[in-house]
Chains A and B, each alone.
Chain A
Amino acid sequence: MTVPGVSGRDISEMLTPQGSRRQPLDGFDPDYADIVDYIIRCTHRIWEQKDIGLIETHYADCIRMHLMTGPIDGADGVVANTIRTLAAFPDRTLVGEAVIWSDEGNQTYLSSHRITSSGTNLGPSDFGPATGRRVQFTTVADCLCRANEIIEEWLVRDNSALVIGLGLSPRAVAREQALGDANDGKPAAWRAAAMDRVLTGPSTPFPRAGLPSPDNPETFARALFDQAWNHRRFARLREAYCPAANVQVPGGRSLFGHGEVTGWATAVIATFGNARFRVDHVAAVDGPNGIRDVAVRWEMAATHDGSALYGPPTGRPVYLLAVTHWRILDGRIIDEVTVFDEIALLRQIEGGL
């Protein structure tokens, strides 16, 4: 049986009871028909209906959440984070833009859930006192789900878009946070290990062949990151992207077409000259009218040795955890949303974390 995505479905339709199971979900609550239903419905219940206690039945006690500010262990941390965010943005709505999932075997599913959050900053947040401002920002939650519980999560949020929306300076906020890190300028152990994982990965030979077809999303994603990003063959981006591609990257920055997409890649590498990229996970689902949605979770480790994006180089090591969502049509990327926590990145540049 087909698992419907969010495409073409209004929230009112998605939140009506979905009937019997559409895929094997042993151990999940009986009212969840499939993994997409589980993600959309439990997000609505926990965040919008404020049934925070449901975290107890939807997150494993031993969950590890991976963020660019470091891992959080245990469901108690999830509850605390959720309540703090809701106190800061009590009217937060979470519009599910995409749920791109993969079957990981043994009725375990990886869901890459992209959310547009809207809310009013009525209470103190991680970024300072209440501003009264209305904001919008994008989050991607990559959740590994089994038996009704999220057992591991990789959470990336466009915090710089949020900070800019609050009327604050991303760099000033990051610097303030870095001052509180008290780490003697050295990366925290978790970050050192993550950077080591990326930097010691196997290198690949110079890619002479063109990009493979996105008919195999995993091969395509790995090849694009290898060729365009690791080998700096930016010309490959013109093969991969539609000339009218819309791309959203952190800070709410929107890019259009080959020139600006290539410009972003150039600016990233001009900021982090020795950057190495590692693809962690790829998921893909097919939608209507030949559309294919692909989710790629990836990491970058580098040294801040250039000034293209974030001011004069500091020589500090940086680590980046990101998720990219592509919408592919006729073999080319027509839409992309890439999310990482640019405030956490700037915090590293300022000597924190």
Chain B
Amino acid sequence: MITLAEMECRLRETRDLSVLDETHLHRAWREDALGRVRGRDRLREAVLASLADEQAGAPTIEARGAEMIAFTTMGGWRGHRWVEREGDRILGETEILDGAARSAALGLDLNDAARAKAANCPMHGPLGELRAGLGQLATSERPALPSGFATTAVEAATALHRIWNGRAINQVPREWRGPREAGEDGAAFVIALLTALPDAVWLPVRGSILDDGRVAVLWRLHGHHLGPGFGGPSTRRVRLIGSSVLSMAEGNIAAEDMLVDTLAMRATAHRPLIDYGPAM
């Protein structure tokens, strides 16, 4: 079976997109914060379109596991890729790229890049509340975990839940890396994101143990862009996908390598709204 690291190298270094026929099911999908493409053919087109702008070169693999890898591209921006398998084939991919860093590396204006990313991604209006069914209740001690969530990642998910949902920003580790625009101060980045999305909820999706024993957690952050920063306030509902690679110590996060696509957050403001109102 081709590993995720091998797949990433074949795509980025040799531009061998035929690897997708070996690794992916024909039903495969790929998602990012703005949506999902379905089918291996469409997925291949999306990969090709993305690589077309980039310089070929081997990525540096920084974390690897059966379900997830973290890498830095030849161009210097980072990515996390999660996969969901059926048998030995990939059914789905969740891609989190540092879109702002990629735009900068490609010499693109950040706002222009956000507009371009949004142009073909119309969106529906938001539905429902963010803190489902909780009303006035305080944040629970433990997160609501999905079915099949890896038991080995529960501690890490709980620690992230305390930070994001409990707003225990003091628990963001000093040893922290995030999107390039965040710099090295994780707490400041979390505060900036929560200031922009004051009602944000953090929702765990999957957990996994990596080859080096670290824990990886795939998550979502949903909130309304009501505060300043990241191109806002736009009042739009922002639905970010994030990923963290964590070193744990006594139930706390000792080090975190996280990624969330802040370009997608900026792009949300520019997405055309789908209108079901009466025709003129």
Contacts and interface: CB of A to CB of B under 8 A. Distances in A.
Nearest to A244: B146
A118 interface: yes
Contacts of A235: 133
Given A7-B87, A251-B276, A330-B148, 4 more contacts: A9-B25, A244-B146, A244-B206, A256-B239
B11 interface: no
Contacts of A12: 26
B18 interface: no
A253 interface: yes
Contacts, number: 130
A276 to B, nearest CB: 22
B96 to A, nearest CB: 15
Interface in B231-280: 239, 274-280
13 contacts: A8-B89, A116-B39, A136-B37, A164-B274, A242-B146, A242-B147, A251-B124, A258-B132, A262-B133, A264-B127, A264-B128, A288-B86, A311-B276
A267 interface: yes
A93 B39 contact: yes
Contact of B26 (A7, A10, A261, A266): A10
B199 to A, nearest CB: 11
A254 to B, nearest CB: 7
Contacts of B132: 238, 243, 257-259, 262
B27 interface: yes
B148 A260 contact: no
B145 interface: yes
A243 B36 CA distance: 20
A346 B276 contact: yes
B279 A310 contact: no
B41 A118 contact: yes
A243 B89 contact: no
A256 B280 CA distance: 32
Interface residues of B, number: 43
B144 interface: yes
Contacts of B276: 170-171, 251, 309-311, 346
A172 interface: yes
B166 interface: no
Given A244-B146, A251-B124, A256 B275 contact: no
A259 B221 CA distance: 13
B147 A116 contact: no
Contacts of A254: 35-36
Given A116-B38, A118-B39, A346-B276, A334 B148 contact: yes
Contact of B128 (A169, A174, A251, A259): A259
B141 to A, nearest CB: 15
A255 B132 CA distance: 13
Interface of B: 25-27, 35-39, 41-42, 86-87, 89, 122, 124, 126-133, 144-148, 201, 203-206, 220, 222, 239, 274-280
Given A244-B146, A259-B128, A264-B128, A95 B38 contact: yes
Nearest to A268: B127
Contacts of B205: 244
A54 interface: no
A13 to B, nearest CB: 10
A244 B203 contact: yes
Nearest to B220: A256
Given A136-B37, A259-B128, A266-B128, A175 B279 contact: yes
Contact of B25 (A10, A93, A164, A172): A10
A329 interface: yes
B42 A136 contact: yes
Nearest to B149: A244
Smallest CB-CB A-B distances: 3 pairs: A263-B128, A263-B127, A8-B87
Contacts of A346: 276
A6 interface: yes
A97 interface: yes
B57 to A, nearest CB: 30
A225 to B, nearest CB: 19
Contacts of B222: 256-257, 259
A260 B128 contact: yes
A262 B128 contact: yes
Centre residue among A255, A256, A346 by max chain B CB count within 10 A: A256
A11 interface: yes
Given A97-B27, A261-B128, A10 B147 contact: no
Given A244-B146, A264-B128, A171 B278 contact: yes
Contact of A238 (B26, B38, B127, B133): B133
